[in-house]
Structure 1
Amino acid sequence: MEILAFGVQVDEKPLLEKAFRGRHALRCLDVFLTEDTAPLAAGHEAVSTSVNAVLDRGVLRILAAGGTRLIAQRSTGFNNIDLEEAERLGLTVARVSHYSPYSVAEFAWTLATAVNRRIVRASHRTRDFDFRLDGLMGRDLRGRTVGVLGTGKIGEAFTRIAHGFGMRLLGWDAVENPACAALGMTYAEKERLFAEADLISLHVPLLPATRHLVDAAALRAMKDDAILVNTSRGGLVDTDALVAELRAGRFTGVGLDVYEAEAGLFFLDKSLEAVEDDTLARLVTFPQVLVTSHQAYYTVDAVGQIIDATLRNVLDFTAGRHSENVLIPREPSGRSAHPQA
């Protein structure tokens, strides 16, 4: 069986090819799966997709009509997939249920410390031989309050680093994590967390209930000098509301590795094109904002684990096995295999 992999990054391609060598044929494409590129999958029983693929009703119907039976997504999130339509079409959909939580947690801290200590601005200055310190003053993190929304594997890893900084720990989640509580975390309502935290980091999946979790009201409740970091999903933050608060001169720093309208932008070179997204164009102009292109997961360790899990998903499919990674079809008990991130 030949697998067609969409949206393969340059660094990712040799790792994918090495993993599948001697097991299944693999063809890698750098284009992302959309309604325009979906016909390329005709004749391929299995396709592998990236997190920014568009797997809506139209795309899924094209894939199914072309003979595709398996979609193996190389990510944990699956909010980009119409699972109801996939189930109706008889498609099997699998994702990567987990990978190195340290990759994302460490990058979240990279963003937090970078905006706190004005690292990007300082780097730009010194490249121009401007060695002034004006506007580069940051804050000690020790003794300040960190608010962690979502304390699963990644949130726990982030919390352990915060504990190492000597910060006061506030958490919010549907289920408390005993490991975080053991570190001294106090669980609170999100309204209290927004109001008290000096640094807020998001580590929850994007679901209907969490879309715009950080909305205009939450942003208004935050301290004027708060730092906000999002390495989870762009849709967790109401970006227009965030821009409005930034225009009012609020927040010490904002670090975003994700953006709610990133599909069709992130992972692509748009440097020679006119910027059509006015919100993003405005966002990146603020000196206290740092935007990266969904790279928090992008370590050799995490990507290797993602590829290994993707290979297992393909092997399980060909062997007729069901695992925690399978979203569709549902488990024999009738429950959908949607473990929390």
Structure 2
Amino acid sequence: MSNTLPQSISAVKKYDLRYTTQMTKTAFFSTKPFEMDAILRANQSQHEFIFIADPLNETTAKQAANCKAVCCFVTDVLNEPVLTKLKTLGIQMIALRSAGYDHLDVAAAKRLGFIVARVPEYSPEAVAEFAVTLLLALTRKLPQALQKVARHDFTLTNLLGVNLFQKTIGIVGVGHIGTAFAKIMLGFSCRVLACDPKPSEKCRELPIQFVSLDKLLAESDVISLHCPCTPETTNIINTLNISKMKTGVILINTGRGTLIDTIAFIHGLETKKIGAAGLDVYAREKGLFFEDHSNEKLSDTEFLKLQTFPNVIITNHIAFFSAEAVDNIAKTTVKNLAEMKSNI
């Protein structure tokens, strides 16, 4: 089983889609249309699925009635009240269709007796390649170039970029994704520094330097975050650590938004301590990302402030979103369901 965490599926609301067999009945919350085909292909009539468009919370948990499993995305709430509600409904298994599990109260899940599984390695290359995409867009000022061409301004004013060749790249967290990112950076002939108390074995084989966080912060031209969000790493990018960085450092975050103290980060941008940033995640993205707010006025002043910086690229948590990754998530989810079922 993949790090003791599985996946499941359910359909109501917009989709009215049911796929019935004689096996585990699973409610998929926060289901998007792009996922359904991949999940059904992977399932091959093994399980009964109910796809639910709503995110999981205390109010929507009742939609999992008569199911044995729920499958959740990073936007779903899996705190103790929700887990208790699921337990009263007879849910036995929780399948996370994500690598991260910071949205799950692990202690409560264990205490309530749930079997839990996740997808620890669906496509490290998808996220790593996207981190490089953000980095190259920043170093070569791609957004500004596109805006100028759209205005039919073909001058080179304000478009001077920098090479990555022989720059020092600091990677915080070298699990599967961080290791994939390190390999790509080595291909650019970069000097790569890594900080991780438990680096992957594959990463140990690479020609990179393992250093303390302080040394990484002080020497890196680029810092890319690939660590999970834990009590130790929450707000790891804070006022103190920003002060230790090189002036003009480029920061990339495709990990978790809560790795960054947003107020301190904004101050770093305003003082030009942080020269540029590529963010695919945001500390308060729940309820914001994965939804269409184009006809609404956003009230998150910190997010709106971040959007005013021309040297900041924000994307909507899409680093994972490749065809290969979606297929792998679906396959691992179905496999996890089968393995969890066998353990009941």
> TM-score if structure 1 supplies the norm length?
0.90
| 1:43-62 equivalent positions in 2, closer than 5 A | 43-62=66-85
Residue aligned with 1:139, SS: coil
Residue aligned with 1:114, SS: helix
Aligned to 1:198: 221
How far apart are residue 88 of structure 1 and its match? Answer: 2.4
| Alpha-carbon displacement from aligned partner over 1:71-117 (angstroms, at most 9, x marks no partner) | 10101111111122222222222111222211111111011111111
Amino acid at match of 1:309: T
Aligned to 2:260: 237
Aligned counterpart in structure 1 of residue 103 of structure 2, from 80, 88, 92: 80
Aligned to 1:175: 198
**Quick check: 1:176–1:187 contact (8 Å CA) kept in 2?**
no
Query: For 1:36 and 1:92, how far apart are their aligned partners in 2?
Result: 22
Aligned to 1:216: 239
Alignment RMSD (CA, Å)? 1.6
**Quick check: 1:39–1:66 contact (8 Å CA) kept in 2?**
yes
**Quick check: 1:116–1:252 contact (8 Å CA) kept in 2?**
no
Quick one: percent identity of the two aligned structures? 37
Aligned to 2:18: none
Aligned counterpart in structure 1 of residue 50 of structure 2, from 10, 24, 27: 27
Q: Where does the alignment leave 5 or more consecutive residues of structure 1 unmatched?
A: 322-341
Amino acid at match of 2:287: G
How far apart are residue 31 of structure 1 and its match? Answer: 2.1
Gap change, CA 1:46 and 1:183, over 3 Å in 2 = closer
Query: For 1:123 and 1:11, how far apart are their aligned partners in 2?
Result: 28
How far apart are residue 176 of structure 1 and its match? Answer: 4.8
Query: For 1:81 and 1:175, how far apart are their aligned partners in 2?
Result: 22
Gap change, CA 1:228 and 1:45, over 3 Å in 2 = same
**Quick check: 1:33–1:53 contact (8 Å CA) kept in 2?**
yes
**Quick check: 2:245–2:273 contact (8 Å CA) kept in 1?**
no
> Which has the larger displacement, 29-38 or 202-211?
29-38
Aligned counterpart in structure 1 of residue 301 of structure 2, from 234, 257, 278: 278
Q: Where does the alignment leave 5 or more consecutive residues of structure 2 unmatched?
A: 1-23
Aligned to 2:208: 185
**Quick check: 1:145–1:198 contact (8 Å CA) kept in 2?**
yes
Query: For 1:317 and 1:45, how far apart are their aligned partners in 2?
Result: 11
How far apart are residue 259 of structure 1 and its match? Answer: 1.0
Query: For 1:239 and 1:10, how far apart are their aligned partners in 2?
Result: 32
Alignment: residue pair count: 321
Aligned counterpart in structure 1 of residue 324 of structure 2, from 301, 305, 309: 301
Residue aligned with 1:12, SS: helix
Gap change, CA 1:62 and 1:239, over 3 Å in 2 = same
Residue aligned with 2:33, SS: coil
Aligned to 1:317: 340
Amino acid at match of 2:294: S
**Quick check: 2:242–2:273 contact (8 Å CA) kept in 1?**
no
Aligned to 1:336: none
Aligned to 1:146: 169
Instruction: Please identify runs of 4+ aligned residues in structure 1 that moved more than 3 A.
Output: 175-183
Query: For 2:304 and 2:83, how far apart are their aligned partners in 1?
Result: 32
Aligned to 1:165: 188
Query: For 1:178 and 1:298, how far apart are their aligned partners in 2?
Result: 26
Amino acid at match of 2:240: A
Aligned to 1:89: 112
> Which has the larger displacement, 87-96 or 303-312?
87-96
How far apart are residue 314 of structure 1 and its match? Answer: 0.9
> Does 1:67 find its partner at 2:90?
yes
> Does 1:42 find its partner at 2:73?
no
Residue aligned with 1:258, SS: coil
> Does 1:261 find its partner at 2:284?
yes
> TM-score if structure 2 supplies the norm length?
0.89
Aligned counterpart in structure 1 of residue 136 of structure 2, from 102, 108, 113: 113
> Which has the larger displacement, 177-186 or 208-217?
177-186
How far apart are residue 193 of structure 1 and its match? Answer: 0.8
**Quick check: 2:84–2:112 contact (8 Å CA) kept in 1?**
yes
**Quick check: 1:141–1:165 contact (8 Å CA) kept in 2?**
yes
> Which has the larger displacement, 27-36 or 214-223?
27-36
Query: For 1:293 and 1:161, how far apart are their aligned partners in 2?
Result: 23
How far apart are residue 279 of structure 1 and its match? Answer: 0.9
Query: For 2:205 and 2:276, how far apart are their aligned partners in 1?
Result: 29
How far apart are residue 2 of structure 1 and its match? Answer: 2.2
